[in-house]
């Protein structure tokens, strides 16, 4: 993923009209371009090129035939393309894919959001705030400052390649929730001005904490007092794990939610209080130490002391370790990455005053959010916990904190850091399986109105040729270097095209979506190569921060890996998740591949020095 720039610069956003009536954050929104619709021929050519290294010659012949049929003048492909062009040109449709994508990829997805959809960031330790109440208060203070900028529209937009990015998804950051419904969940946004509080969960107790009283935001000392009081109150009684219900299959949770509402009228008020809160803060009673322990804690925990439908959940443990969990349906990782980077930057670099102000005497105590639970609700909670343990138990996870080198050395090799790490992943997979398989890298398309993501298909003829050469002892290093450069260039070309809305997958998705009910699928979509090339044996993405010691999420198919990675100046980090495919072995092969590549590229540098 290309780096996102957030600083103000006169050279940024040249040629974009500004509408200052919308505030700084949204001033470019209406002048952002609409998501493009590539030509059929363009997508067909790129599609054939992308499947070429993945299938046999005979399979490729069948695929080419299916594509040719799809492209016939006056045929089904042309008809679908014309429909899509008409949709994209509709002045009432700002982004032709967004409603379809949100529904298909997220809101209509019925498997549990945890561990399959949600993602996490693990924060580095705050040595000044080992006490969990102190750490929670500092995080909340910084989060509320960021929230003010979002709610007030004063946050500076993000930029990529000097182009402003869509900021619309930020509205789903605070005072929002995903509501389970059949067959498609519903996102709800509540007015921030009417819900000036957040919810804290401790030992399955929910507490409402006002973050503004008498028009003044609580200072850090006041927030710390609120958290400290919650630690006391939560010890007074036991509470049922209501939040465990949100870990269920979405249809099961829909029914369980109704069971909860039917149990007592006050349960509706309690649910609305949580769903409309600014965010959720989880005070866990565990003390994770290792990177794997922390990853598990923020990725899914024990299925309790959470409300997984909230887009923003901060987590602090007994030993002061902390992290974040995000629900993915209406917002991708870049906005929450910015939020969490801002929080940690503010704390570790003292950019906010965390020490001023005394504790006011008129602050209301944290208010318990109470549920009435009958036998039917208890049964659904028990079942949810069993289902959660079964699902999470299917997975393995490893964290590779590779200290050999990072972005600094990769740039000395004159390589795109992201493309370089993608090749580490490709080579590691090849070492483990002896072949390359379809690989997804998330690419932001937020330079378009309501843009989200496109797929970068990482596997290319060039990357496969290079992986094969690296395993052949008879191929000279200089030849491997030449092939590696071609693989890097191919990756940069595809990801650049994808970020410009010219990938393969979203366009084909849109065309397929326009088939009429009962209409026969074109042979292109029935071709086995189509299903195989969209089976992500490797699902990958990069978000990097000097303040995180972890970041990750799940694999997307049972036979695949989810590999999240961070590229920092002097180190690389990989979070490896799978359904017991051998995350430990992948960890080894990633290390092995990274070392092989360093040796290869340093040999190139030595050759260049010798010529001087």
Instruction: Point out the residues that are catalytic.
Output: 328
- Which two three-digit tokens encode residue 542? 């990069």
Say if residues 583 and 574 touch (Cβ distance below 8 Å): no
Nearby residues of 137 by Cβ (< 8 Å), 6 or more positions away: 220, 221, 223, 224, 226, 227, 354
d(CA 504, CA 448): 17
User: SS3 of 548, please?
Assistant: strand
Kindly write down the DSSP assignment for every residue of 341-382, as one continuous string: HHHHHHHHTT-S--S--PPPTTPPPPEEE-----HHHHHHHH
Say if residues 527 and 62 touch (Cβ distance below 8 Å): yes
Phi-psi category of 414—alpha, beta or left, where left has phi over 0 and alpha has psi -120 to 50? left
Q: Which segments within 130-203 are labelled E, that is strand?
A: 159-160, 163-164, 176-179, 186-189, 197-202
Q: What count of residues does the chain have?
A: 612
Say if residues 348 and 355 touch (Cβ distance below 8 Å): no
Specify burial of residue 23 (Cβ count, 10 A radius: 0-12, 13-18, 19+).
Answer: middle
User: SS3 of 50, please?
Assistant: helix
d(CA 584, CA 255): 38
Q: Where are the alpha helices (DSSP H) in 5-163?
A: 40-51, 57-71, 76-89, 98-101, 113-116, 132-152
Write b or e for each residue in 429-439: b if 16 or more Cβ atoms lie within 10 A of its Cβ, otherwise e.
bbbbeeebbbb
User: SS3 of 299, please?
Assistant: helix
d(CA 283, CA 332): 25
């Amino acid at each position: 993923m290309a780096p996102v720039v957030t600083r103000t610069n006169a050279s940024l956003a040249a040629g974009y009209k500004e509408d200052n009536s919308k505030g700084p954050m949204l001033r470019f929104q209406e002048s952002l371009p609409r998501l493009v619709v590539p030509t059929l021929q363009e997508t067909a050519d790129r599609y054939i090129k992308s499947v070429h290294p993945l299938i046999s010659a005979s399979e490729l012949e069948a695929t080419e035939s299916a594509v040719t049929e799809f492209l016939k003048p006056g045929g089904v492909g042309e008809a679908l393309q014309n429909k899509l062009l008409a949709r994209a040109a509709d002045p009432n449709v700002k982004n032709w894919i967004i409603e379809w994508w949100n529904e298909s990829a997220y809101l209509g997805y019925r498997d549990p959001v945890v561990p399959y959809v949600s993602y996490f960031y693990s924060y580095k330790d705050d040595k000044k705030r080992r006490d969990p109440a102190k750490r929670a208060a500092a995080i909340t203070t910084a989060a509320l400052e960021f929230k003010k900028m979002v709610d007030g529209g004063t946050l500076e937009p993000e930029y990529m390649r000097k182009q402003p990015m869509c900021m619309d998804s930020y509205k789903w950051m605070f005072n929002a929730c995903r509501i389970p419904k059949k067959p498609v969940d519903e996102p709800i946004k509540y007015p921030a001005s009417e819900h000036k509080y957040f919810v804290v969960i401790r030992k399955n107790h929910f507490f409402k904490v006002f973050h503004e009283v008498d028009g003044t935001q609580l200072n850090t000392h006041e927030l710390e007092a609120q958290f400290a009081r919650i630690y006391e109150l939560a010890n007074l009684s036991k509470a049922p794990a209501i939040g465990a219900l949100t870990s269920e299959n979405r249809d099961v949770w829909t029914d369980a939610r109704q069971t909860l509402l039917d149990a007592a009228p006050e349960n509706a008020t309690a649910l609305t209080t949580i769903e409309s809160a600014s965010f959720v803060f989880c005070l866990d009673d565990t003390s994770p130490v290792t990177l794997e322990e922390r990853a598990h804690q923020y990725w899914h925990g024990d299925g309790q002391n959470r409300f997984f439908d909230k887009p923003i959940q901060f987590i602090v443990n007994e030993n002061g370790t902390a992290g974040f969990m995000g629900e993915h349906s209406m917002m991708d990782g870049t906005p929450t990455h910015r939020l969490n980077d801002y929080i940690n930057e503010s704390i570790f670099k003292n950019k906010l005053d965390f020490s001023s102000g005394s504790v006011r005497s008129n602050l209301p105590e944290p208010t318990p959010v109470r549920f009435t639970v009958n036998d039917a609700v208890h049964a659904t909670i028990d079942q949810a916990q069993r289902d959660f343990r079964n699902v999470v138990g299917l997975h393995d996870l490893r964290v590779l904190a590779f200290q050999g080198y990072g972005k600094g050395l990769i740039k000395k090799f004159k390589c795109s850091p992201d493309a370089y790490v993608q090749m580490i992943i490709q080579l590691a997979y090849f070492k483990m399986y002896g072949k390359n398989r379809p690989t997804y890298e998330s690419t932001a398309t937020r330079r378009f109105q309501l843009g989200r993501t496109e797929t970068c298909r990482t596997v290319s003829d060039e990357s496969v040729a290079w992986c094969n050469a690296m395993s052949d002892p008879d191929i000279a290093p200089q030849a491997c270097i030449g092939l590696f450069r071609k693989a890097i260039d191919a990756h940069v070309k595809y990801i650049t095209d994808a970020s410009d809305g010219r990938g393969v997958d979203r366009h084909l998705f849109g065309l397929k979506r326009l088939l009429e009910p009962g209409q026969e699928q074109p042979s292109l979509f029935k071709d086995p190569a189509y299903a195989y090339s969209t089976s992500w044996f490797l699902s990958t993405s990069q978000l990097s921060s000097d303040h995180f010691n972890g970041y990750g999420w799940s694999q997307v198919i049972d036979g695949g890996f989810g590999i999240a990675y961070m590229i920092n100046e002097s180190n690389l980090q990989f979070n490896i998740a799978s359904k017991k495919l051998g995350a430990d072995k992948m960890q080894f092969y990633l290390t092995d591949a990274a070392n092989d590549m360093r040796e290869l590229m340093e040999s190139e540098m030595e050759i260049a020095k010798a010529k001087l």
